[in-house]
Amino acid sequence: MKRLCIISVCAMFVGLCQAQEVDVFVSGEDGYKSYRIPAVVKDKTGQLIAFAEGRVDHAGDFGNVDIVYKISQDNGKNWGPLQVAVDNDNLQVGNPAPVVDLLDPAYPKGRLFLFYNTGNNHEGEVRKGNGLRECWVISSADGGKTWSSPQNITLETHRPNQPSTNAQYTFKEDWRTYANTPGHALQFDSGKYKGRIYIPANHSEGNPKENGKDYFAHSYYSDDHGKTFKIGESIKFEGSNETMAAQISNTGLYMNSRNQQGNVKSRIVSYSNDGGVSWDTTYYDKNLPDPVNQGAVLSWQRKGKYILAVSNAASTSRRDNLTLRLSKDQGKTWYFNQVVAKAPEHAKGDYTAYSDLVLLSKDKIGVLFEKENYSKIIFIPVSFK
């Protein structure tokens, strides 16, 4: 009888854990064959806004791709209907990088920015110089009910050399393929750079090189609430690719990047002490194993110091074993480590892939991530202390 009670309690616990997992975007629903590239933010009213690429015809990166979103009013337990933020006809829009500007006096209720990229050819062809990626931004002052007209910020945030497409795109740097984050952007909430809107990104430079060595992570930022933008210094590691960042002190920034080369199966970590404009150090963090994939970061203040969170597929063999870690010392050590999702035995393919993070309360984080071979994007809360 005692054994049966234990089994029943365990079953109830498992059921409760599973009940917390909520489908947000499911491939094949609402007119889209596939959903990829999750991003999530919380606005000043407390609502969550989850974004993704809605891929109309297939799961591939290039094609008829929109940016779609859903809103939750109850910390992710339920989500409203699918809405479209950006539709570029039959061409690609992607890499949604949302951020809420909480510090603009002109918008006391906050303003939601959505940075994104457009493309007119496959990434491999753009890398060869046979196409163009551009940078755009829209904003909403009413929590995603309405959006501003799109603004092309390519000249300020990108360095393409495509005079045949646009006479102004004649930068000697010859950046080609280009992508925001993926995941949320950030705003500095304290210190010398308070109010700075910061968007991590990556690009390729010149002709393609083997193993993705032409890729470099970089950033762009605004110190005037999105009126103008500047480009930060690139990470010096060849193959540094998809990247996210988080504030870790009054002037410090932590950047966490994908290693496209795959020669070292771990995350690339960089530190800045001037608000992410330049980099003091960059290295492979062997404490963060990675199979060549995207990873997410988030930070928040607690008792005057920053807590840093990182989530990624902590495996060197495939996209699986999504793990959430927390640090009190700027990513040097991790006091909290929890597996969020892991493939059951004998499951094949990529069980957990891209993710993003949002703070739900002082002791709970929401994780939005791709699951089960990209068949869905789900949301799950994770409690911590």
Tokens (6 digits) for 67 = 């940016």
- DSSP β-ladder status, 175-180 and 151-152: unpaired
Compute the distance between CA of residue 324 and CA of residue 181 in angstroms, rounded to an integer: 18
Instruction: Determine the pLDDT at residue 6.
Output: 42
Tokens (6 digits) for 50 = 């989850």
Amino acid at 91: L
Compute the distance between CA of residue 32 and CA of residue 181 in angstroms, rounded to an integer: 23
Compute the distance between CA of residue 312 and CA of residue 340 in angstroms, rounded to an integer: 10
Instruction: Determine the pLDDT at residue 180.
Output: 98
* 3-state percent breakdown (helix, strand, coil) of the chain, nearest 5: 10, 45, 45
First CA to last CA across the chain, in angstroms? 35
Instruction: Determine the pLDDT at residue 372.
Output: 97
Instruction: Determine the pLDDT at residue 234.
Output: 98
Give the count of beta carbons closer than 10 Å to the beta carbon of residue 160: 26
3-class secondary-structure state, position 371: strand
Q: What's the pTM?
A: 0.95
The pLDDT profile of the chain, 385 residues, written as one tens digit per residue, is 444 444 444 444 443 444 489 999 999 999 999 999 999 999 999 999 999 999 999 999 999 999 999 999 999 999 999 999 999 999 999 999 999 999 999 999 999 999 999 999 999 999 999 999 999 999 999 999 999 999 999 999 999 999 999 999 999 999 999 999 999 999 999 999 999 999 999 999 999 999 999 999 999 999 999 999 999 999 999 999 999 999 999 999 999 999 999 999 999 999 999 999 999 999 999 999 999 999 999 999 999 999 999 999 999 999 999 999 999 999 999 999 999 999 999 999 999 999 999 999 999 999 999 999 999 999 999 999 8
Compute the distance between CA of residue 99 and CA of residue 39 in angstroms, rounded to an integer: 10
Give the count of beta carbons closer than 10 Å to the beta carbon of residue 167: 8
- DSSP β-ladder status, 34-42 and 22-26: unpaired
285 within 8 A of 306, measured Cβ to Cβ: no
Select from 184, 158, 180 the least CA-distant residue to 169.
Answer: 158
270 within 8 A of 234, measured Cβ to Cβ: no
Select from 27, 29, 81 the least CA-distant residue to 50.
Answer: 81
Instruction: Determine the pLDDT at residue 263.
Output: 97
Q: For 75, how many CA atoms within 13 A lie in the half-sphere containing its CB? A: 11
Query: DSSP label at 232?
Result: P
Compute the distance between CA of residue 87 and CA of residue 147 in angstroms, rounded to an integer: 13
Residues near 17 by Cβ (< 8 Å), separated by ≥ 6? none
- Residue 352 has φ and ψ, to the nearest 5°, of -135, 130
Residues near 147 by Cβ (< 8 Å), separated by ≥ 6? 85, 114, 138, 139, 140
Residues near 376 by Cβ (< 8 Å), separated by ≥ 6? 23, 24, 25, 26, 27, 35, 370
Spell out a b/e string for 99-135, using b for 16 or more CB atoms within 10 Å of the CB, else e.
bbbebbeebeebbbbbbbbbbbbbbeebbebebbbbb
Within its chain, how far is the Cα of 218 from the centroid? 14
Amino acid at 296: A
Options 3.10.20.70, 2.120.10.10, 3.90.226.10, 1.20.1260.10; CATH for 24-383 is 2.120.10.10
